[in-house]
Structure 1
Amino acid sequence: MSAMTTEGAIVSRTLIIDNIYPYSTSQKPIVGVNYQYPGPPIEAYEGDTLVIRVINKLPQPTTVHWHGISQNGTQDMDGAVGATQCAISRNGEMTYIFKASPAGTAWYHGHHLDQYADGLIGPLIIRRKVEPNQQYYDTERILMVADWYNELARTKLLSWFLSTNNPKGIEPIPDAIVVNGKFSESLFVPTNGSKRIRFRIINAAAFSMYTFSIDGLPLHIIELDQTPVEPYTVSSVVINVAQRVSCFVNLDEFDQSLVPAEVPPTKSIYIRFQAMADMYPVDIRSYRAPYATPRYPYPIYFNPLFLGILSLDSKNSLPTYPVYDERIGSRNPDSEDINLLGARPFYRANNIVPDATHFLKLVITIGPDSSNISRAYFNNVSYGSDMNRAGQKTTNKKCLTSDTLPLLHQMAMTPNGLGIPSPIMTRDSPLLVIQSDGNGHYLIPYGAVVDILLENRDEGEHPFHIHGYEFWVISTSENPQAEELYRGAYLQRDTVSVPGSGWAKIRLLANNPGAWLFHCHIEWHMDAGLIVAFIVGPNALLAQGYKITPIQKRMCQ
């Protein structure tokens, strides 16, 4: 850990990770945080120092990743097993200490043994001293949406997914949707008399992307991931896995025509999360998972619509208007651009986009390996798998020089001996091209400005997240004109949605040395190997003062 100066307050929290059984109708253990699901919100102001003691009471190792936090100067606090640390052992603990930065709607989740799909999630809100767009809302609510599976991800679901019994690579289909730990029609969100409300929406699903809307109310988007934007009005918005959207609503804008004249005025409004049915590889209306444990004498299929209730009074009554209305029941998002590149950054003067100096093309494919098990590939490499394509040998899997030490430790121990080629000039690009070791590790010089082209040859949409950074989203196959249209004022995010059979172009300023994972945030695709590791500036890491701490060394013994 590098030396870290303390500017703001010190915010201390203790998180106990343990199995819980929050639902009387289910015997499935949830990985809870402080015996809650989702875990408790953690809040701080930008610049504060977070000191979070994580105590592992699970029968398995664990870790916590602080999604959206840059960890500049605290690279070993990122929580990615194999990249920045070894796992927290059973009955062990680790104290994470890091700067609350950047501001915005972040979250935390497990990053080991599919524990995030099994419940290890929670909100992490980093507030600004002066919030942009604060004048438009008086209160705020968090909505954390997730997939619910009747079976455990880390055992039953994963063992079926990556097996010869599933040669088509069909991902486990959710059994339900939960928001703030509640199932459909059981979540009541009080307004407490406020008419202007900010919603912080976090997609913590393992697989699903959703269209979010509130009946009869326009949504005024004011933050995408952790980037504040000028208000951008839509009637609904698509949010992919790991993305966050903040919007405000004004109840005075409610469309009263939704309420039939013959019924009493409504004292509540439906909140809708509609799972995108066409993203699933099967017909969810009739699919029966081969691994499912029969629970009833008749099949119950996944309902892709979650209904919450925005309660306008304290009675938690249901809306008086029909649930299904042709004006709201099948609403499509206003924009086909899921990344909302048309939204403009709030702080344009500070959003200086440098010209690219380097280039990297990552081709995304999914298909069977030589054992007929479905794998996911970046440039024909499935991270951590022996079964890579094109006859490539994988003498090193998740490692560069060691099969037991995190990548970050290896960078510190042998900064000039990692075996990854330096960037080279090629005939295909006017920029220096980033190289890899053939095992999913890419060496990026400190200070490089890298244009990354994500070419998706899979039919499915993929949400790609980077640790330790935000990148500029330049353009996508849904919005190719954005590169010219918004030149000099591109939108920054940490998760980009790459269209099926399409592409996305992002730009990364490599000013944070370390070992940073870049991966699809669909949990099943991570399990299948859709990950690369960016090894940024090993010597810059040491110059910054990074040293492997005795605690980190003990965790790896």
Structure 2
Amino acid sequence: MAPMATEGVVRKITFTVDNTYPYPQSSKPVVGVNYAFPGPTIEVNENDTLQIRVINKLPQGTTLHWHGLFQRGTQDMDGAVGATQCPIPPNAEMTYTFKAFPGGTTWYHGHYLDQYADGLVGPLIIHRAYEPSQALYRTERTLIITDWYNDVCRTTLNSWYLSPSNPDAIEPIPDGIAVNGKFSESLFVNANGEKLIRFRIINAAAFSMYTVSIDGLQLKIIELDQTPVKPYTVSSFAINVAQRVSFCVDLNQFNQSIVPSGLAPTKSIYIRITAMADMYPVDIATYIPPYKTPSVLFPTFFNPSYLAYLTFGSSNSLPTYPAHQEGSNPPPPGNISDTNLLDARPFYRTNIPNANHYLKLVVDFYEDSSGIVRAYFNDITYGSNPLNLTSTKKLKKLRSSPNIPLLYQMTQAPNGIDIPPPIITSDSPLPSIQSDKYGHYLIPYGAVVDIYIENRDAGEHPFHLHGYSFWIIATSENPQAENLYAGDYVQRDTVSVPASGWAKLRFVANNPGAWLFHCHIEWHMDAGLLAAFIVGPQQLAAQKFTYVPPPKKFCQ
């Protein structure tokens, strides 16, 4: 049983979002927070109230999404343009006020115009009143991993990716990897003499999956996304975009035998973060994209191997052994292909109700009538019905637009949203959730929904649900999990769906609002791989939720 929640305090923070130039070798503008990349770490206690004033100094609109937070009662603070708010215009500001819940390791990021791929990211650490694995660590370190592109994503790369000149829909390949804003072989993580360390790993990349390991050490995983799990020992693990993994290490267990005889004992070891090359649609060792801008930082080919240094003391030191010597890399864990780590057990066993509704989502990519390859859920690419912005009528049909949020539309006509009710289909004996053919799915409040994602694409996809976490019942890489762990499934807010495979999820629709469900690869969001779950519009009204329209200039 989880410990009782306690009320927190009010934390006031001011963020300025603007372009910054953190690297003298690069002329690329990075979207930073308070002129830093990544943005400042927010560190609070569970149930604190956050009041975050966001001042936009960019020449275009912006927003911030607080990944993994439920936003119960503050649905308009989710930061999803078109779903819960209009973008913050240039030279304007908005204050986000919400509860820091649930606790755990998460992050904030832009949710508009590819700004998160251009640097608008930062860690958000929410400490629980009681951490179930606290005995395993005495200090913490946070590593936020990002893809680095030499070119600006929101202009150069997006316009190339979504164009007829890219008929194979090749996603822009990163030029490098940055961890805490540092490139390979420049990040030192000092233990300062501590032996028991917790690492919080955040994959804030736009595209890449990674494996993570530390030479000579076993990793005890204690948290997946924001779910505490029973300590689960691996030698390395995979992490997809938007997922988070916390693990503990014990430096007392480090064995100096990995240092070849004749060399001095090492006072530091390598942290290895490796992009999984098989997820890219091209051979990264030879591929040169047509838009390529040479850079002093990364002139030609993407190197998928990133090295950081874990130093035992308080001063920076390099390992005494070669980075690529035989035996310095630990063997992979038993099921490295199971990115979701379904074999890890949740620390707290929860009551998992039986499903009473069903939703099948088929993922596919193909050309539209303009010769541009789009992404589709059930043959619908999101945003294909732009709203006539001159209309101010209360509409029963929901429309996808950055200028009239779905949440606002729900409050205007809670009893008249024109989306078909669930029906019985051949896919399931349960009532199947229907859409309006524009990517909006009306989900009854309180429904227990099984989502079956059929991935017809040859690439792996990380899918994230706003406003909720879900139980991962099974995937095509771990189909036995459904029976093996029945009643004790792990909860996450981002699931990695295998290439040409499937995943089965379950969630309880008890948080009314307009919540996006989307692939977290930035390029796939651009291509339309999103859906909007419209949950309980009548319940939203019954809870007396009031959507306060922002200043008029926000939604012009």
Q: Which category of TM-score, normalised to the shorter sequence, fits these structures? A: over 0.9
1:400 corresponding residue in structure 2: 398
- Return the letter of the residue paired with 2:375: A
Contact 2:383–2:400, Cα closer than 8 Å, also in 1: no
Give 1:220 shift: 0.3
Query: Who is 1:85 aligned against?
Result: 85
Matched ranges for 1:90-239 at <5 A: 90-239=90-239
Residues 305-454 of structure 1 aligned to structure 2 (within 5 Å): 305-329=305-329, 331-335=331-335, 336-348=337-349, 351-385=350-384, 400=398, 403=401, 404-454=403-453
Q: For each residue in 1:502-521, what CA deviation from the matched residue of structure 2 results, as whole angstroms up to 9, or x when unmatched?
A: 00000010000000000000
Question: How far has the Cα of 1:546 moved from its partner?
Answer: 1.1
CA distance in 1, matches of 2:134, 2:464: 28
Give the aligned partner of residue 391 of structure 2: none
- Give me the identity figure in percent: 67
The Cα of 1:427 is off from its aligned counterpart by 3.7
Cα distance in 2, alignment partners of residues 328 and 12 from structure 1: 45
CA separation in 2, counterparts of 1:468 and 1:295? Answer: 40
Letter in 2 for 1:21: Y
CA gap 1:271/1:421 in 2 versus in 1, 3 angstroms: same
- CA distance in 1 between partners of 2:456 and 2:292 (Å): 30
Amino acid at match of 1:71: Q
CA distance in 1, matches of 2:31, 2:404: 26
Shift of 1:386: 6.3
- Paired AA for residue 345 in structure 1: P
Secondary structure, aligned partner of 1:360 = strand
Q: What letter matches 2:226 in structure 1?
A: Q
Q: Match of 1:390?
A: none
In the TM superposition, what is the alpha-carbon distance from 1:424 to its structure 2 partner?
1.3
Q: Do 1:466 and 1:519's aligned partners in 2 also have CA atoms closer than 8 Å?
A: yes
Q: Deviations over 1:331-366 (max 9, x none)?
A: 534322110111011111xx1101100000000011
**C-alpha contact (below 8 Å) 1:446/1:511 kept by paired residues:** yes
- Matches of 1:306 and 1:519 in 2, distance apart? 28
SS at match of 2:293: coil
The one-letter amino acid paired with 2:180 is N
Quick one: structure 1 residues 402 and 361, their matched pair in 2 at CA, closer, same or farther if it must change by over 3 Å?
Answer: closer
Q: Which amino acid aligns with 1:70?
A: F
1:119, 1:209 → 2: CA distance? Answer: 17
Shift of 1:556: 2.1
Quickly say closer, same or farther: Cα 1:329–1:302, change in 2 above 3 A: farther
**Structural mapping, 1:1-12, within 5 Å:** 7-12=7-12
Q: Aligned to 1:551, what secondary structure does the other structure show?
A: coil
Residue 455 of structure 2 aligns with an amino acid whose one-letter code is N
Deviation digits for residues 202-261 of structure 1, max 9, x if unmatched?
000000000000111000000000000000000001000000000000001113221111
Letter in 2 for 1:400: L
CA distance in 2, matches of 1:545, 1:299: 56
2:245 paired residue number = 245
CA distance in 2, matches of 1:461, 1:327: 29
Is contact 1:86-1:552 (8 Å) kept?
no
The whole-number CA distance in structure 2 between the counterparts of 1:407 and 1:386 is 13
1:327 CA displacement: 2.7
In structure 2, what is the Cα distance between the partners aligned to 1:218 and 1:402?
47
CA pair 134-299 structure 1, distance change in 2 beyond 3 A: closer
The letter for the 1-side match of 2:347 is F
**Residues 401 and 418 in structure 1, CA contact (< 8 A), matched pair in contact too:** no
* Structure-2 change in CA distance of 1:367 and 1:255 (3 Å): farther
Counterpart position of 1:480: 479
Comparing 426-435 with 405-414, greater Cα deviation is found at: 426-435
| Deviation of 1:329 (Å) | 4.3
- Kept in 2: contact 1:210–1:240 (CA 8 A): yes
Q: Give, in angstroms, the shift of residue 416 of structure 1.
A: 2.2
In the alignment, which residue of structure 1 is the partner of 2:260?
A: 260
Question: Which residue in the other structure is 1:286 paired with?
Answer: 286
Partner of 2:37: 37
Distance 1:552 1:382 in 2: 30
The answer (yes or no) to whether the contact 2:258–2:328 under 8 Å persists in 1 is no
Supply the distance in 2 between the matched residues of 1:207 and 1:428 (Cα, whole angstroms). Answer: 32
For 1:202 and 1:402, locate their aligned partners in 2 and report how far apart those are by CA, in whole Å.
30
Instruction: Find the aligned partners of 1:144 and 1:195 in 2 and give their Cα distance.
Output: 22
Aligned-pair CA distance for 1:294? 3.6
One-letter amino acid matched to 2:43: E
Q: Which amino acid aligns with 2:216?
A: G
Q: Which letter maps to 1:327?
A: G
Note closer, same or farther for the CA distance 1:68–1:426 as it changes in structure 2 (3 Å cut): same
Summarize deviations over 1:310-341 as a string: whole Å, max 9, x none: 01123312101111133344853432211011
- For residues 172-219 of structure 1, give each alpha carbon's deviation from its aligned partner in whole angstroms, at most 9, with x where no partner exists: 000000000000000000101101000000000000000000111000
In structure 2, the residue matched to 1:17 is: 17
> What is the Cα deviation at residue 450 of structure 1?
0.3
- 2:385–2:438 CA contact under 8 A, matched in 1: no
Shift of 1:551: 3.0
Q: Does the CA-based 8 Å contact 1:211-1:333 persist in structure 2?
A: no
Report the Cα offset of residue 295 of structure 1: 4.4
* Local SS of the residue matching 1:47: coil
Greater shift in the superposed pair: 438-447 or 330-339: 330-339
1:551 matches 2:550: yes
Could you tell me how far 1:385 is from its partner in structure 2?
3.0
User: Could you tell me which residue of structure 2 aligns to residue 392 of structure 1?
Assistant: none
Amino acid in structure 2 at the alignment position of 1:16: T
SS in 1 for 2:540: helix
